[in-house]
Amino acid sequence: MKIYLKIWRQKDASSKGKIVDYTMNGVEGDMSFLEMLDILNEDLISKGEVPIEFDHDCREGICGTCSLQINGRPHGPDRLITACQLHMRSFKDGDTIVIEPFRAKAFPVIKDLIVDRNAFERIQQAGGFISVNTSGNTVDANNIPIRKENADKAFNAAACIGCGACVAACKNASAMLFTSAKVSQFALLPQGRVEATERVQNMVRQMDLEGFGNCTNTGACEIECPKGISLENIARMNREYLSASIKG
């Protein structure tokens, strides 16, 4: 296939960025999206040009670092996958593909397609932990009864990989889905109830300090989430926050 690329290039955080056009020939459908970018970079390096910077690690849809805005959608046109799992068979000969970094005030661009998502780390540091010692205490699995429904919901919430697609999809750049997933994975389990009040207050406070917007209630975050994290988590976090506020 012949593919036309429009890629955001930005030297550093303080420089003004712009869209640069590239043309690729001989693109095969079995290529992954990131493999296609690798081949483009090899060509740029051979010409003595600066390669395009983009993040990736596992290439298995686990780490979330491959976050890219592809034709206006986080992680591209296919649902429930990350950009590293996207293949060029999802496009056709002659297509134009626009590739940009995730856009959010709290995700400043570092270079080209790489953004600083440390805001997510700081939200987790504010409350995404438990004080209960579970190391080696496998006996807890038999001693503490947990409803299967709650266990399943906790595991589903814990599937969030913190890629930031929810933020990129939201017109308010809200981190409510991410934060609520991290709150929910503990709120649904007895081990997480010890710090429940402080956790939700501290994480929501940090989320606001980072400059993320409020929830729009449009559901774009759930649609674009590669792990299908449910909006139910946002409702649960709101209930947790209200309860914590009443307790003082």
Give me the residue spans of the domains in the chain.
Answer: 3-111, 117-247
pLDDT-based confidence at residue 142 (cuts at 50, 70, 90)? low
Average pLDDT over residues 168-185: 97
Average pLDDT over residues 192-214: 96
Average pLDDT over residues 120-140: 83
Cα dist from 118 to 87, 169, 194, 212, whole Å? 28, 18, 26, 13
CA–CA dist 120, 125 (Å, integer): 9
Amino acid 244: pLDDT:
95
Q: Is the pLDDT of residue 103 over 80?
A: yes
- Is the Cβ–Cβ distance between 172 and 214 less than 8 Å? yes
Q: Is the pLDDT of residue 235 over 70?
A: yes
Average pLDDT over residues 225-248: 95
Positive or negative torsion for Cα 108, 221, 86, 18:
negative
Amino acid 38: pLDDT:
98
Amino acid 208: pLDDT:
97
Average pLDDT over residues 132-155: 80
Q: Is the pLDDT of residue 186 over 80?
A: yes
Paired tokens of 120? 């997510």
CA angle in degrees (0–180, nearest 5) for 66-186-175:
45
Amino acid 71: pLDDT:
98
- Is the Cβ–Cβ distance between 67 and 164 less than 8 Å? yes
Amino acid 137: pLDDT:
65
Amino acid 145: pLDDT:
84
Q: Is the pLDDT of residue 117 over 80?
A: yes
Q: Is the pLDDT of residue 127 over 70?
A: yes
Amino acid 167: pLDDT:
98
Kindly give the interhelix angle for 148-158 and 176-187, rounded to the nearest 10 degrees: 140
Tell me the whole-structure pTM to 2 decimals: 0.94
CATH of region 117-247, choose from 3.40.50.1820, 3.40.50.1100, 3.40.50.11690, 1.10.1060.10: 1.10.1060.10
Q: Is the pLDDT of residue 17 over 70?
A: yes
Give Cβ neighbours of residue 2 (< 8 Å, ≥ 6 apart). Answer: 23, 24, 25, 27, 93, 94
Amino acid 132: pLDDT:
78
Residue range 3-111 in CATH 3.10.20.30: yes
Tell me whether domains 3-111 and 117-247 share a fold. no
Average pLDDT over residues 6-29: 97
Average pLDDT over residues 109-118: 98
pLDDT-based confidence at residue 247 (cuts at 50, 70, 90)? confident
CA–CA dist 238, 107 (Å, integer): 24
Amino acid 141: pLDDT:
61
Average pLDDT over residues 120-125: 97
